[in-house]
Structure 1
Amino acid sequence: MDKPIAKPTAGMYVGFGCAALFGLPFLCGGLYMTWSLVSMLWLAQAAKSWVEAPADLKTVELEGSDTQHVVATYEYVYEGQEYPGDRVGLLESQDNVGKHHKQLFKRLNEAKKKGRPVVCYVDPKHPEHALLDRTLRPAMVIFHLPFVVVFTLVGVGLTSAGVFASKSMLRDEALKAANPDRPWRWRDDWITGEVRSTGKKDLTAALVFAVLWNGISLPGCLLFLSGDSDAPWWVGIIMLLFPAVGAWLAWRCLKIFLIRRRYGESVFRLATKPGVIGGKLRGVIEASSLLEQADGVRLTLSCTKKVGSGDDRKTIIVWQDERVIDRLLDAGDPSRVGVPVDLTIPSDGVISTDAEDDVVWKLKAQAKSTGIDYEAEFEVPVFRTEDTQVGIEVPEAGEFEREESLEDLLFAEGVRIEPLGALDSVRYLNPPASKPLVSMIMTLVAAGFLAGCVGALIHGERFVAAVLGLFACVLTLASLELWLGSSDLRIVGDYWESRSGWYGFRRRRSFTRRDIMSLDTKVSSHQSNQEGKPKTKHVIAKLAGGETVTLVRSLHGPVAIRKLLDDLRLRAGHE
């Protein structure tokens, strides 16, 4: 395949240069703080062997207001020779970390007033070098770490991106110029039909973000816990939430690494180039033979789109479908198997995409297994082409797929289907606290913000208390929804009864199927803003007279929602 060549533009060079220049201050700051930390540690280690000698203080001052350090002059005698000295500690810069400078000034100033000599530490190899305090302050080591880790990492990343991203961008621009009307030929892997999983990219992104987050949050938390901080107790409670998030980020990074280590890299070999809206996405995922131990491979095809602008810009799912594959193919290698992909993409007007960068189609493969579960994700080309057909709908399970029952799908969502005594009578029960672990975590976070709010009020920090209180209220409502939110739908022939809301405060509504005008879904008012995740939806009934009744609460899976709607419409006589 001939590789098209793009001619770099002045704008590209400006962009690359700006990225590199923007990263240089971070890199220089990180390197400086690295040099400062190494110098401090080296001097602390060397000063352990320095010789003690009496010193007469001449002057002692505490300089600075917000940031301080002790300045002193003194004279000392070593091996019969008198030397002047002015170095006090391991670091000569000012800081506001803890009470060290105030305590040191108090000790030295009292000695000067009383005319008592103090101990200084003299370098026996270079007697002209001495200092008064060789204490290595753990707080200052911790203080350096965010700058060493974060600034250096950001600086190296931005500078490298500016220097090395030019080749990749030029290649992308060349492909776009050569195929202006065929966006499925804008990437090399789409052209060759071999799409590798995003695991390596995801691991890199997760590792960088975990290092950045923990590089900032952990030192701050350790600084508070070291006792060398003037911050009140309630600040510590809030600070502990950040390392908790950092622990989750570290676990996420470890999980991605373990998946790649156990299952290796997966490759999606496209049979349709591209996948067609109003048509098919076909191919085979070549993966580890360990998938033979799993009870099926779940395939999820999602169309995501970025909406909004600025700080309000977020990623939403505009369409999604799931299938379970229970028959694997021989990949011609004992260590590999093939997962057949034959997905239908409907042609209705809900889905629209073009060559815009803000629309992404992703194919995710998941399988439950002993130990770490399998997971791989691929960015796939799906577009409207000349092969697009009108009126294509998603069919039932295909040749290699396993048809999942409505009972199993709803059970995975925490909803139970129970037959009642009468013929053709059924109950759809979504009990409270169906996700106790998530509920407990949310409750603990809400309690942390609430404690911080109370502490801020006690210390007179009203604005901080108001902000923390707002977060505490939102999180408390979300916790109550997780603990108490429930629904109970009972259908006995033509008679329907719905109870929905917080347990103990649920609203009861009775009606007949003839009162039902339509069945649909609505997004939960407690929907989180987590990007790229399915929205939490309630299944609702719109009754004659305009009233809306919630039937089943808090569902996520698109297949479960679709099948439940089909089942309820059949019972209501709408199909």
Structure 2
Amino acid sequence: MLILFGLPFAAVGIGMFIFSVGDSLTQWQAMKSWPLVHANLASVDVKSSTSDGSTSYKVTAAYSYRYNGQNYRSTRVGIGNSYDNVGDYHQREARRLRRALDQGGVVNAWVNPAEPEQAVLNRDLRWELLGFKMIFVVVFGGVGVGIILYCLLAPTDKMPGSRTAQKSLASPWLERRDWASDQIKSDGKTSLYVSWGFAILWNAISIPAGIGGVSEALKGEWLALLALLFPVIGMGILWWAIAVTLNWRRFGAAPLQLDPYPGAIGGQVGGSIDVQLPYSINHRFDVSLKCLRSYVTGSGKNRSRRESLVWHSEGVAHSQASMKGTRLEILFDVDAGLPVSQEPDNNYHLWRLDVSCELPGTDFSRSYEIPVFATGQSARQLTRLSTDNVLAQNAREEALSEVLDIKQIAGGIILHYPALRHPSGKLALIIVGAVFAGVGFAVPADDFPSWIFTLIGVPMVLAGLYLLLTSLDVRIDRNELLTRRRLLGVSFGNRRYPRNTIKSLALKESYSAQSGRSHVTFYKIVAKRLDGKPVTVGFNLAGQNVAKQALESLSLLTGIATDEA
């Protein structure tokens, strides 16, 4: 059935290449030998066709010419003879022919000597249109051929509907071919294919567009040189593909051997990885285990897939020398009640293990999508938690020292959060807000309510400045909890709370940040009062492990018990 599903995609891609791209290239080569004659223009027109809110164009011209003593008429202008809206070719060609018509109507034409009734007024190949067509060739053809090859190469005992697949219903993780054993492949090979596929696709489109831009620039359209930006980006993408290839060749497949199998909610998730890298005590392999919700937003052309963090823990793998180079041992305790791994859909949960190590030259970086289900099992061979690694503890302490400036006093502590800390995100907010506000002030409001941009931008700028320039001091002693904020050194918003009204300390999620596949949840520490109102005493704590350690430290130093937020 999957082969039948892939056949239409492959047919579209292959058909587009043979009957459109290939046909254009063949005609372009043949027209180079067509003889030149003078033609007399009678009329020039640009026809339009509107469908699904998009308008396409086609330039036409009625002209006559004489070849080998015979008179002929034609309306064909260029190699292509169909409607499209790629670039402004039709409008530019119409302007050129109209100028010729105003100056007497004599233009050059090229005649097919084998069939003299065929002629064209422009035999240049439209590289930008060719690149646009190649999108369909690569995307549709690639998807179709990929599905067909998968069906032909996949082991039949693991295909949907096979006897093995039917038996796996008692163990849901066996329903997926890549989870059929306790050895899980990384995303290394997938990244390799994706990087080269994207590089080939981008450059197949951008190089013809760049050539076309140079061709137009030589005709006086200098703005067309902007098309050269796309091949430049293409070279960057090509370099990325080469880097991914070097990474794969250096470190090998590096599969994950799960222990337990599958990973267990309410138990443990762990495994070992053999990396083709000489062992060194100086190599630090950071590991991160995430439960994510993957979902689709928008509709139609605006559909996009996003991820949100449900649960997260991080640490450092325990490493040792092995026959293949370096063996990594990874183990996490996992809370009960979390979502299990689900089949990919518009809205589903997945578990991902990320492993990375900064190295001279090419860094090691692999991701594993792993099966995690509510079995409650613990590891059989592994015993050392990644969160307990000395290097992980040191990293948490360094992160805490950057966020928590603690000074012990008689009977309590003072926490100081100075202004201008972690400025990058706040500066980004100010810059984005300034751009919005600038657009609102600069764009005339005649045809568009530009004040909306100002209404959005100004609060963003003010919020960014407030967060960047405000400091906070928190004092907790035997008698009271005191918070004091300062803006540019001016004290405001001082609050005092009697110590006997503070019930407990708790963690609370502030916000999450995402960059690519990297997710970080930031927490704050709040002091819960007897009336239920919280008082913030710590913030900007990156990651649950760091936040828990900060909470334990404050509880130990102040004597206030901890509680769930």
Query: What TM-score results when the alignment is normalised by the length of structure 1?
Result: 0.71
Match of residue 330, structure 1, among 321, 325, 328:
321
Q: Deviations over 1:186-206 (max 9, x none)?
A: 456656432222222244345
Rounded Cα–Cα distance in structure 2 between residues aligned with 1:426 and 1:488 = 11
Please say if residues 267 and 376 of structure 2, whose CA atoms lie closer than 8 Å, have aligned partners that are also in contact: no
The one-letter code of the counterpart of 2:533 is E
Letter in 2 for 1:171: K
C-alpha separation in 1, matches of 2:426 and 2:29: 49
Cα contact 1:183–1:355 (8 A) shared by 2: no
Give the aligned residue type for 1:376: R
Structure 1 residues 426 and 290: alpha-carbon distance in aligned structure 2, compared to 1, 3 A threshold: farther
- Distance of aligned partners of 1:450 and 1:165 in 2 relative to their CA distance in 1, 3 Å threshold: farther
CA shift at 1:276, angstroms? 3.5
Map Cα deviations across residues 125-165 of structure 1 (whole Å, 9 max, x no partner): 876654323445xxx42244233124531343046426734
2:184 is equivalent to residue 195 of structure 1: yes
In the other structure, the counterpart of 1:317 is: 309
Give the whole-Å Cα distance in 2 for the aligned partners of 1:486 and 1:240: 45
**Distance in 2 of aligned mates of 1:247 and 1:484:** 38
Structure 2 residue aligned with 1:171, among 135, 153, 158? Answer: 158
Is 1:76 the counterpart of 2:66 in the alignment? yes
User: 1:572 matched to which residue of 2?
Assistant: 558
Q: Output the CA distance in 2 between the equivalents of 1:471 and 1:92.
A: 49
- Which residue matches 2:222? none
CA 1:487 to 1:332, structure 2 compared with 1: closer, same or farther past 3 Å? farther
Please give the alpha-carbon distance, in whole angstroms, between the structure 2 residues aligned to 1:482 and 1:195: 47
Equivalent pair of 1:316/1:532 in contact (CA under 8 Å): no
Q: Which amino acid aligns with 2:374?
A: R
Distance across 2 between alignment mates of 1:410 and 1:219 = 52
Taking the aligned partners of 1:222 and 1:473, their CA distance within structure 2 comes to 40
Task: Tell me if structure 1 keeps the 8 A contact 2:266–2:375.
Answer: no
Task: State the 1:170 CA deviation.
Answer: 6.4
Report 1:388-537 matches (<5 A): 398=388, 403-404=393-394, 406-410=396-400, 415=403, 417=405, 419=407, 425-429=413-417, 431-432=419-420, 434=422, 436=424, 460=447, 469=453, 473=457, 476=460, 480=464, 484=468, 488-491=472-475, 493-494=477-478, 496-498=481-483, 507-511=493-497, 513-524=499-510, 533-537=519-523
Q: Structure 2 vs 1, CA of residues 111 and 276 (structure 1 numbering), >3 Å: closer, same or farther?
A: closer
Paired with 1:217 and 1:552, the residues of 2 have a C-alpha distance of 50
Determine the C-alpha separation between the residues in 2 that align with 1:108 and 1:184. 66
Q: Does 1:264 align with 2:257?
A: no
Q: 1:307 to 1:285 in 2, by over 3 A?
A: same
1:243-285 deviation digits (Å, cap 9, x = unpaired): 9999998887666445334323212223433343444444321
- Aligned-pair Cα RMSD in Å: 5.2
Match for residue 340 of structure 2 among 345, 349, 353: 353
Distance 1:354 1:226, change over 3 A: same
CA gap 1:224/1:172 in 2 versus in 1, 3 angstroms: same
Assess if the C-alpha contact under 8 Å between 2:427 and 2:464 holds in 1. Answer: no
**1:6 aligned partner:** none
The structure 2 residue matched to 1:285, chosen from 273, 284, 287, is 273
Contact 1:172 1:186 in 2 (8 A): no
Q: Distance in 2 between matches of 1:500 and 1:209?
A: 50
Give the match for residue 544 of structure 1: 530
Q: Which residue of 2 aligns with 1:234?
A: none
The answer to whether the Cα contact below 8 Å between 2:356 and 2:364 also exists between their aligned partners in 1 is yes
Structure 1 residue 329 displacement after superposition: 1.6
Structure 2 counterpart of 1:555: 541
Deviation at 1:557, TM superposition (A): 1.6
Number of corresponding residues: 531
Q: Which has the higher strand share?
A: 2
- Structure 2 residue corresponding to 1:362, chosen from 352, 356, 362: 352
Q: Distance in 2 between matches of 1:94 and 1:184?
A: 50
State the SS of the aligned residue for 2:170. coil
SS in 1 for 2:253: coil
Kindly state the Cα deviation for residue 286 of structure 1 after the two structures are TM-superposed.
0.7
Rounded to whole Å, the distance in 1 between the matches of 2:281 and 2:261 is 31
* Distance change (3 Å), C-alpha of 1:337 and 1:168: same
By how many angstroms is 1:44 displaced?
4.8
In the alignment, which of 286, 289, 298 is matched to residue 301 of structure 1?
A: 289
Quick check: 1:314–1:531 contact (8 Å CA) kept in 2? no
Fraction of identical pairs, as percent: 23
Matching residue of 2:221: none
Q: Secondary structure at the match of 1:533?
A: strand
CA offset at residue 92 of structure 1?
2.4
Q: Distance in 2 between matches of 1:135 and 1:219?
A: 13
Cα separation, 2, equivalents of 1:108 and 1:521: 72
Match of 2:366 in 1: 376
- Corresponding residue for 2:264? 276
Give, in whole Å, the separation in 1 of the partners of 2:504 and 2:403: 22
Partner of 1:57: 41
What letter is aligned with 1:552?
Answer: G
- On the 8 A contact 1:416/1:430 being kept in 2, the answer is no
Q: Which residue identity lines up with residue 360 of structure 1 in the other structure?
A: L
- Between 1 and 2, higher relative CO (CA 8 Å, sep ≥ 6) is seen in 1
Distance 1:499 1:210 in 2: 54
For residue 256 of structure 2, give the secondary structure of its aligned residue in structure 1: strand
Give the 5 Å matches for 1:238-253.
Answer: none
Task: Give the alignment of 1:2-151 within 5 angstroms.
Answer: 13=1, 17=4, 19-20=5-6, 23=9, 26-27=12-13, 31-32=15-16, 35-40=19-24, 43-44=27-28, 47=31, 51-64=35-48, 67-77=57-67, 81-86=69-74, 87-96=76-85, 100-102=89-91, 104-109=93-98, 111-112=100-101, 115=104, 117-122=106-111, 130-136=119-125, 140-150=126-136
CA contact (8 A) 2:432 2:457 kept: no
**Displacement, 1:570?**
1.9
The whole-number CA distance in structure 1 between the counterparts of 2:107 and 2:38 is 6
Q: How much does 1:291 deviate?
A: 5.9
Report the counterpart of residue 220 of structure 2 in structure 1: none
In structure 2, what residue type is equivalent to 1:317? L
> 2-side partners of 1:532 and 1:479: how far apart?
26
Listed as ranges, the gaps of 5+ residues in structure 2 are 50-54, 218-225
Amino acid at match of 1:263: F
Q: Could you say what secondary structure the match of 1:289 adopts?
A: coil
**Cα deviation code 1:411-430 (max 9, x no counterpart):** 5xx52535478796453536
